[in-house]
Every structure is written in C-alpha cells, then in structure tokens.
Structure 1
Amino acid sequence: MTDESTDPQPAGSRSGSPALWRHRDFMLLWSGQTISEMGSAVTQIALPLVAVLLLDASTFEVGLLAAAGTAAFVLIALPAGSIVDSRPKRSVMIVCNVLRLVVVGSVPAAAAFGVLTMAQLYAVALAAGVCTVFFDVAYQSYVPSLIAADDLMDANGKLGTTQAFAQLGGPSLGGGLVGLFGAAGAMVADALSYVVSVLSILGIAKREEPPARPVDEPLRRRITGGLRFVLGHPVLRQVVACTGTANLFSGMSWSLAIVFLVRELHVKPALTGLVMAAAAVGGIAGGALAGRLAKKIGSARIIWVSTLVFGAPQTIVAAAWPGWGVLLAPLGWAIGYFASMVYNIAQLSYRQSVTPPELMGRMNAAVRWVVWGTLPLGGVLGGLLGTLIGVRATLWLAFGGAWAAGWFVFFSPLRRLRDVPQSVPESASR
C-alpha cells in the first residue's frame, strides 16, 4: 500500500457529474428526499419543544426523548439489514414513509384533543425511529443500484447537501411554524412531507433486480454476516469505531441543545430554529465541497482530515453566553456540521465502494447498528450529566470527545492511502 493511489480514476476524483442532473430517477429520489428531510428537520425542533413547552419536561426527560428516537438502531438494525437485502428496497422505503406519516401525525392529533403525554412522545420517537432504521438501510443500499459506481461520491455529496439544506431551512421553518401553530401543530409539516417522498419514489422508472434470497442459510447467520464483514475489514472497523464514538458524544450534545439555548442562553423558543439553522450553513458547504476536497486531499485521506483538522474548533459552542455570545453556538455547530458532512460523505462512499452488492444492506445495517446505537446512550448520558454537573460542563465534554474520535481513523490503513480504489478488494468479497 503506497501513499498515492495508482487507480487512474479514484473514487471521488470527479468534482461533479453532469449526468446526475439529467438522471430522471436520481432527481426524483433526490427531490423527494429534500422535502422529507425538511419535514424531519421541523420535527427535530418541534418534538423537544412539545416536551419542554407543553408538557414541562425536565432535562433528563428531554434526554430520554432523544434516546428514544435512536434506540431502534440498537434493537433492530441487524435484522433490518437481512430483511432489506431479501426484499425490494424501493418497496421498503415506501412502506416506511407511509408509517412515519401516521406516527408523526399522531402528535398534533393528540394535542388537538388535549390527550398528549410524555409516554406518547416516547412511543412516537421510538416508532418513528424503527421506520427510520429500515428506510435508511434501504436508502443507502438502493442508491448504488440506481446510479453508476463512479458517480457515488457526487451523488452522496448531493444527498448530503440536501440534508444540510434541510437543517438550514427546516429548523427556521419549524421555529416559524411553532410560533404560528404551536409546537405540536408544526409537526403536521413533517407528516405531509412523507406524502411527497412516497410519490417521488413511486415515480422512479428503473426497477431493481429481484433480490437473491438464500434458502439454506439460517437467519442468525444472515443477520451477523454484515457485522462479521465490517468488523473483519481493517478500515471499516476503524471507521465504525470513529463514527460510533463521535455519535456517542454528539448524542450528548444534541440532547441538550434546546435546553442549552432556551435555559442557559435565554433564546426565545421561536428563535431556536433560526439559531440551529444558521449552523446548517456549514453542512451545506461540506456537502457542496466534499467532492472537491476529496480530489485535492485524497478520497481516503479526507476521512481523517475532516474530523481531526476541520472539526477541531467546534468546541467553542460550549463557550457561548447570553447576548452576543450566542453567536458562538451556531458558529461552532456550523464548523462541526461542515466537518461531519465531509466525513460522512467520504466514509459512506468508501463503504459502498468496498462492499459486494449482496452484502450492501447488511453492511449498512451493521454499521448503523453500532454507530447509531451509541446515540441513545449519548442522549441518556447527556440528560444525566447535564443534571449532575450542569449543561455547559457536559457540552465541553461532549464536543471534546467527538473531536478525539477522529484518532481511530487516523491510526488505520487510511493514513497510508491517498485515494479509495474503485474495485472491490479480495478481502471484501470473501
């Protein structure tokens, strides 16, 4: 393994593929996901505000609510990968969005009748999380079958930019909707966004190849196949360690974000979305620049550079204070979002490049099981530590830990590799 790749066209070497703009099916998927991400960003603001404003939830209860939203990745991610690999991924995505429409829509309905409780919020967060597990595993496994392999970095960059744009427009939209219709009423926008997403997926013309379904392989072996592949790969296991650790600490910080803004920095509830949306500018920049940065720095090297170098200044969030000092919060979040967006696009493209198609769903599920499985623990720890040592002290710990996670990928074979080879290595197909 040398410092420079000998591949004439390494993954991520193209700064943008004009073909994707003319790719009808990809544009349908992308546009539908844009609307859906906007709706989800509204709920990201509205759901904790429902707990804080309508039900007077404590700091610990808000942390538990954040944990409930990601607990499904611990509980069902591994079997979800096996199920997704054995079924049409497009159909899985449609069913998941229909179910999320019903689940999210139950919150404003219950609030309208005056029967909303914290128990329902926990149930909604958990049920929506289950649907998200299946949708995300199917979604990440579906994209490589829809477009050419050498367009993956560009496609993931576009989809990542969409997510960041939703984080920019969604929270500010959510804050405005909260001001107009209340926290629960704002969640209607998320429910309706799933309708648009379903229609866009239904409009995709390309049909998948029928998934191969082994009849002689026990379910347990199929479930653990993706996990064995990931943990047996010298780079993927380090990527998983890095992402899982970073998500643990990020779960701590995000579970306290609303509490920090409202109770520590005295930001008005209707303005919390605007503050958090400003941070999403960094994510938009990261999604737009990921391909160019990968070309300049290296599509493999950018994975550790993004988190250790680009992400270092994000800790300034914890130094924010009421008044003009509030600006440090969106600035630090923007830096962290930029770094994490570049990192996520690069590592996802790497994972898709080294994984055989028949393992794609289980690989994505195994990765999500580990890296998203740490989020609920982070939410609980955030709420607990925020209560015991204070919100600000917990944020210092959380941001410092998220940055330090980058050392896992630095001390991996990626340190000696500039670019990601496009061909699947032998060790990945065994």
Structure 2
Amino acid sequence: MSVTHTVSGRGGPLRLRDFRLLLAGAAAGQAGAQITLVALPLVAVLVLDASPLEVGALTAAETAAFLLIGLPAGAWVDRMRKLPLMIRADVVRAAAMASVPLAGIAGVLTMAQLYLVALVTGAATVFFDVAHQSFLPRLLPREQLVAGNGALEVVRSSAQVAGPGLGGGLVQLAGAQLAVAANAVGYALSALFLLGIKDTEERPEPVPGASLTGEVAEGLRFVVRHPLLRVIAAATALGNFLAAILMAVQTVFLVRTLELPPTALGLVYSAAAVGGLAGALCAGAIGRRFGQARVIWLAPLATGPFAVLWPLSSGGAGAALFAVASGTVFFGAVVYNVAQVSFRQSLCPPRLLGRMNATLRFLMWGTLPLGALAGGALAEGLGPRTALVCCAAGFLLVPLPLLLSPLRRMRDLPAPADADAQADDAAPAGAGTP
C-alpha cells in the first residue's frame, strides 16, 4: 500500500501531491481529446468529404476496442502495475494522433488512416481507463472516492467546456488536420505528469494455476451476480448506445443540416460540457441531499426527456435548443456517473478491480461502436434529423432498468462489507486467494 493512501484521510484529496498529478494528467489528456472531438470528424467531413455512414464508422472505430478487447484487458491490467501502463498508453495515443497532421502536411491523409488512428487510440484508451479507475483507490481511501471522482469529473467537464470551442477556433484558423495535433500534445503532457507520481505499487503476484480465461470469467461472474452492478451495467449500456448515435450524427447534422460554421459548432459542443461541469460540481451535494442510490435513477429520469430538443433544433438561433438539450442530458449523466463509479470502486476487492472495471467497460462501452454504426446507418438512410428522433426516444427508456431494480426502494448504497465474500463466491474452482 502506498504512503499516500495511508495519510489521505487527514484532508481532502487535493491535499495529496500524487492525486494532484493524476488530476493534472487527466486535465491535459482530456483537453486534447475534447479538441479532437470537434477536429477529427471535421477532418473526415470537410477535408475527406466523408459520407454520414463513414463518419459513423469513424466514431465506431474510436470505441471498438471496448467491445473487442474490453474483457481480457481487465485480466491483463490486474497482472500489471497500473501507473507504468497508463504512461505507455499515453505515449501510444500521442504518437497515433501526431500522425494525422503529419500525413495532412504531406498530402497523403486518407479515411483508412483515420480509421487506423481511431482503432489504435481506442485500444490504448481501454488499457488507460481500466488502469486509471483501478489506480485511484490506491491513492484515496473509500470515504474520499466520491470527492476524488468528483474532482476528476470537474477536470473532465472543464476540458469539455473549453475544448470544443477551442477546437472549433483552431479548425477555423489552422485547419482540421493541424488542430488534431493538440490532442497529441495533451497525451504527451499527461504522460509527463504521471511520471511524477511517486507510488510504491508492486507487480501483482500471479495466482497459481490461474488462466487468462478463468480470470476473465471471475470478473464477469462478480459483475453479473451482483444485483446492483448488473442493473447499473444495463442502464449505462443503453445510455451509451444512444450517446454513440448522437456522436455519430451530430457533426453531420450541425454542419450539413443546420449549416453551422466550425466556431459555432464548437460552442454548441461546449454547451453540453457546461452541463457536465455543473453536474460534476453538484454531484456530491445532490448525492447527500437525495441519497446516492436515488441519484442513480433520478438523474437520468429528470434529464433524459430534454433529448427531444435535439431533433427540434434549427439553424441560427434555433441551434440553442441543441445546446440546451446536450447540457441538460450531460448534467444528469455526470451526476449519475459520479455516484455509480464511486460505488463500484468501493464495492470491489482490490485484486478484482481491473477485471471488474474492464467487465463493466465491456458491457457498458461495448455498445458504443454499435450505436455509432447504427447512427451512421440511420443518418444515411433516413436523414440526420430522423436519426436524432430515434436517439431522443431511446433516452426516455434509460431509467427503466433502474426503476425496476432494488435501487428504487433505497436511499443510499450499501456498504461493501460483503465484497470479499461475494468475490470469493464468484471465484472459479481451484483458484487461489492472494
């Protein structure tokens, strides 16, 4: 156990140097990623004249790794030191993103390269995210996980506020291809901040007789057999499927249907991030006021209906409807995420954290490439506005699994006193206990 973890109960998480470095790395990486959220699709739409289906396929490629390698990634992460793994993932992502402006300058950029960059970056992100969520409980005790996750959400949402607007401005000034370079710089800075963390994590001891397949199955059983994790996974998977439809369609809709310039496009995206930032700042207070369990179902129930404003948007001032819808929906999504991620981290025994997080990422995020492909196909066949109608209708169903679960009758989430017993119940026969 690291020294940081043992003294962290004396104050808030921001008093800890290692947590501040983790937060700074998250800020740098997220800032670059949010610029690319605008720039990469615009490279496809404005530079390579991609069709709606091709833009959907590009969005799918960015998240395909969660579906393809999400489950074994957790078992691999549990066998490795988390911090060096995150640093290596940042270096890979920086190199992949840097190849886009270099190819653009050389005049050889193609959609095939964009797909490859998206796939490589997505694979590195799978390992980074699983390791990141598994590493945080090393730095913070259980009682500070909500505050720590809230701080990370504030950083992420702040980057989402500034990033798209800055990305739109960079595209306007320097072109979409060169704007992608900001993401490469962000990932490189993230790696540098992480290098400064002084953690004493040792490589996990291998379990005698354990196999990769058995370890993956152990994490899967732990999630599927837990009644609250199971229903959280189902609701989040549906929400992410619909969010991916939105991500695949919104650039085509805003540029070709509403005819917004890149700068206005960035501002609309930033409005969504303002809602996310507000959600991150309010998540702790909302949880204390209503209860963490209630927040998990109340947040999507209260904010999901605003999604109907997306297809009602029009050009000019009418684009404000799109911004209001995104801001409100993402406010609810961040409040929901802070509550459920903190619960997951506190529930799971340390030896299963990587597999638990990877299993949930596979179940929750594996729907992202499917949603992106569905969004591209809907926009190609029925038009972007009709695709957004389908997306908005789906958001009304997200709270349903939560309302039909034990969460509906709870105010606060249970303490994880039985976590180790639950994990042992899920362990395969013959597996040793570390």
For the aligned pair, the TM-score class normalised by the smaller chain equals: over 0.9
Q: 2:257 aligned with 1:279, yes or no?
A: no
CA–CA separation in structure 1 for the residues paired with 2:408 and 2:17: 38
The residue aligned with 1:55 is 48
Match of 1:109 among 102, 111, 114: 102
> What is the deviation of 1:175?
0.8
Residue equivalent to 2:320: 327
CA distance in structure 1 between the aligned counterparts of 2:10 and 2:110, rounded to whole angstroms:
48
For the Cα contact (< 8 Å) 1:17–1:154, is it kept in 2?
no
Number of the residue aligned with 2:255 = 262
Alignment counterpart, residue 83 of structure 1, candidates 76, 80, 84: 76
CA deviations 1:169-202 (Å, max 9, x no partner) are 0111111111121101001111011121111111
Per-residue CA deviation, residues 76-132 of structure 1 (Å, 9 max, x unaligned), is 111110010010000110000000011010000000000000000000001100000
Give the superposition deviation at 1:421. 2.9
Structure-2 separation of matches of 1:339 and 1:376: 22
Partner of 1:135: 128
- Residue-pair matches, total: 415
| SS of residue matched to 2:208 | coil
1-structure distance, mates of 2:346, 2:104: 46
2:349 corresponds in structure 1 to 356
Do 2:348 and 2:416's aligned partners in 1 also have CA atoms closer than 8 Å?
Answer: no
Aligned twin of 1:99:
92
TM-score, length basis structure 2? 0.93
* CA distance in structure 1 between the partners assigned to 2:112 and 2:279 by the alignment: 37
Tell me the distance in 1 between the aligned counterparts of 2:101 and 2:305: 40
Instruction: Note the residue ranges of structure 1 that are not aligned, 5 or more in a row.
Output: 1-15
Q: Distance in 1 between matches of 2:94 and 2:303?
A: 37
Q: Verify: 1:429 aligned to 2:417, yes or no.
A: no
CA distance in 1, matches of 2:417, 2:191: 33
TM-score w.r.t. the length of structure 1 is 0.94
Alignment of 1:201-350 (within 5 A): 201-350=194-343
C-alpha change, 1:171 and 1:18, in structure 2 (3 Å) is farther
CA-CA distance at 1:249 after TM superposition: 1.2
Q: What is the Cα deviation at residue 208 of structure 1?
A: 1.6
Deviations 1:271-306 (A, max 9, x none): 211111122110000000000000000011110001
Which shows bigger deviation, 395-404 or 115-124?
395-404
Q: Specify the alignment match of 1:157 in structure 2.
A: 150
Q: Equivalent residue for 1:4? A: none
Q: What whole-Å deviation, never above 9, does each CA across 1:123-149 have from its counterpart, x for those lacking one?
A: 000110000000000000100111111
CA deviation after TM superposition for structure 1 residue 206, in Å: 2.5
Q: Give the structure 2 partner of residue 9 of structure 1.
A: none
The one-letter amino acid paired with 2:366 is G
**Residue pairs, 1:401-412, within 5 angstroms:** 401-412=394-405
Q: Does the Cα contact within 8 Å between 1:247 and 1:402 map onto a contact in 2?
A: no
Paired-residue identity, %: 45
Q: What's the counterpart of residue 166 of structure 2? A: 173
Q: In the alignment, is the contact (CA less than 8 A) between 2:169 and 2:262 conserved in 1?
A: no
Q: CA deviation at 1:411?
A: 1.3
